[in-house]
């Protein structure tokens, strides 16, 4: 069941990044529709495994009492040592990297590049555009030359689309949402769009239109009984609480390997308890290119 949130194999960050890419490619080629899986992956293990500044106190605690880095950090390598290798401010320099296991205390060389590729895959797949038609596959924040997406999930079931170029848009609504509970407006005008599978079809659109889509972002709790895992003590039956597709709490919490009180998703219940999305003013970059992969 942990694979539903992107924890596959031994839980490496690179594994989830590759899984996101695979699910998107399979969806693009028409083999299946895996956008719900991508949404679960990127909202959970695909982003939770990234090192962020809030992790630094935990990482420092894990390193307490351990020897300082040596001048030759890689004695098993043959050949001259790269003199640019430094042990200074490693934690600060590692922000944005991805962890190697669900305890986020170390990483392999594969984890950070592939973990970050997972972020790119999801970012690129969030919004596609061709011949005047925008297709929104994931309700994530994104700025683009064709349409900007402001997502309030998982705090609120709300997404605002600011149209720039599309004359028509298809917007995918997650599986947990009841179609009858979806409300849509273009400007101040209420509209009842057609449904194509899980996609809302919005037309006609013009540049400057602001589309607002709202629905209940309910919580649910699922009980999972898992087989024993060598790398994470989650074999017991536990409750997994979701807000939309975002896992916000595991109870009872699984023990951490390095610090018993620390585990993934530990801070999410507090972070996502409010019903209003926090707002932050930022400068958004719009790439002029369509990046192929």
pLDDT tens digits, one per residue of 158-208: 999 999 999 999 999 999 999 999 999 999 999 999 999 999 999 999 999
The pLDDT > 70 percentage for the chain reads: 87
Q: Is the pLDDT of residue 234 over 70?
A: no
Residue 79 has pLDDT above 70, yes or no: no
Instruction: Confirm whether pTM is higher than 0.85.
Output: yes
pLDDT tens for 98-116 read 988 777 877 778 899 999 9
> pLDDT class for 3, splitting at 50, 70, 90?
confident
pLDDT (0 to 100) of residue 80? 61
Phi/psi class of residue 240: alpha, beta or left (left: φ > 0; alpha: ψ in -120 to 50)? beta
The token duo for 17 is 């990044």
Please name the residue ranges forming H helices in 237-276. Answer: 268-271
- Paired residues of 170 in beta bridges: 135, 201
The pLDDT score that the predictor gives to residue 101 is 79
How high does pLDDT run on average in the chain?
89
- Exposure string of 242-277, with b = 16+ CB inside 10 Å and e = fewer, is bbbbbbbbbeebbebbeeeebbbbbebeeebeeeeb
Tokens of 266: 């530990």
Q: Which residue has the higher pLDDT, 172 or 2?
A: 172
Tens-place pLDDT, residues 114-146: 999 999 999 999 999 999 999 999 999 999 999
Share above pLDDT 90 across residues of the chain, in percent, rounded to a whole number = 64
Q: pLDDT-based confidence at 232, cuts 50/70/90?
A: low
Domain ranges of the chain: 131-217, 219-271
The pairing of strands 133-136 and 168-172 is parallel
Provide the angle, in degrees to the nearest 10, between the axes of the packed helices 13-28 and 111-126: 30
Contacts 24+ apart (CB under 8 A), 272-276: 272/154, 272/155, 272/243, 272/246, 272/248, 274/155, 275/155, 275/156, 276/155, 276/156
| CA atoms lying within 13 Å on the CB side of residue 96 | 6
Q: Which fold has domain 131-217?
A: Immunoglobulin-like (2.60.40)
Q: What pLDDT does 292 receive?
A: 85
Q: What DSSP letter does each residue of 150-199 carry, written as one string? A: EE-TTTSSEEEEEESS-SEEEEEPPTTS-GGG-EEEETTEEE--EEETTE
CA distance 280 to 140: 15
pLDDT tens digit sequence for 21-55: 999 999 999 999 999 999 999 999 999 999 999 98
Residue 153 is encoded by which pair of tokens? 């999930």
At residue 120, the pLDDT reads 97
pLDDT at 89 over 70: yes
What's the pLDDT band for 70 if we cut at 50, 70, 90? low
Between residues 258 and 122, which one has the greater pLDDT?
122
Please tell me the predicted confidence (pLDDT) of residue 237.
83
Burial of 67 (0-12, 13-18, 19+ CB in 10 A): exposed
């Amino acid at each position: 069941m942990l694979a539903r949130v992107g924890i596959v194999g031994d839980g490496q960050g690179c594994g989830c990044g590759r899984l996101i890419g695979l699910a998107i490619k399979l969806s693009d080629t028409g083999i299946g529709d895996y956008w719900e899986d991508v949404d679960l992956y990127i909202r959970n293990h695909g982003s939770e495994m990234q090192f962020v500044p809030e992790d630094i106190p935990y990482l420092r605690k894990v390193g307490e009492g351990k020897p300082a880095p040596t001048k030759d950090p890689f004695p098993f390598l043959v050949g001259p040592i790269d003199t640019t290798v430094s042990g200074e401010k490693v934690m600060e320099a590692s922000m944005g990297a991805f962890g190697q296991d669900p305890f986020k205390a170390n990483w392999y060389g594969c984890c950070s590049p592939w973990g970050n590729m997972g972020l790119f895959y999801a970012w690129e797949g969030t919004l596609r555009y061709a011949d005047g038609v925008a297709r929104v596959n994931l309700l994530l924040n994104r700025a683009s030359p064709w349409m900007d997406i402001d997502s309030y999930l998982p705090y609120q079931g709300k997404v605002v689309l600011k149209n720039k170029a599309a004359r028509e848009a298809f917007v995918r609504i997650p599986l947990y949402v009841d179609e009858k509970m979806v409300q849509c407006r273009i400007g101040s005008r209420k509209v009842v769009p057609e449904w194509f599978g899980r996609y809302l079809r919005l037309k006609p659109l013009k540049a400057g239109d602001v589309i607002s889509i709202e629905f209940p972002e309910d919580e649910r709790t699922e009980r999972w009984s898992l087989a024993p895992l060598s790398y994470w003590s989650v074999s017991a039956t536990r409750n997994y609480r979701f807000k939309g597709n975002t896992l916000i709490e595991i109870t009872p919490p699984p023990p951490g390997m390095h610090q018993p009180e620390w585990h993934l998703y530990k801070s999410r219940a507090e972070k996502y308890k409010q019903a209003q999305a926090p707002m932050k003013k930022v400068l958004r970059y719009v790439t002029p290119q369509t990046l192929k992969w």
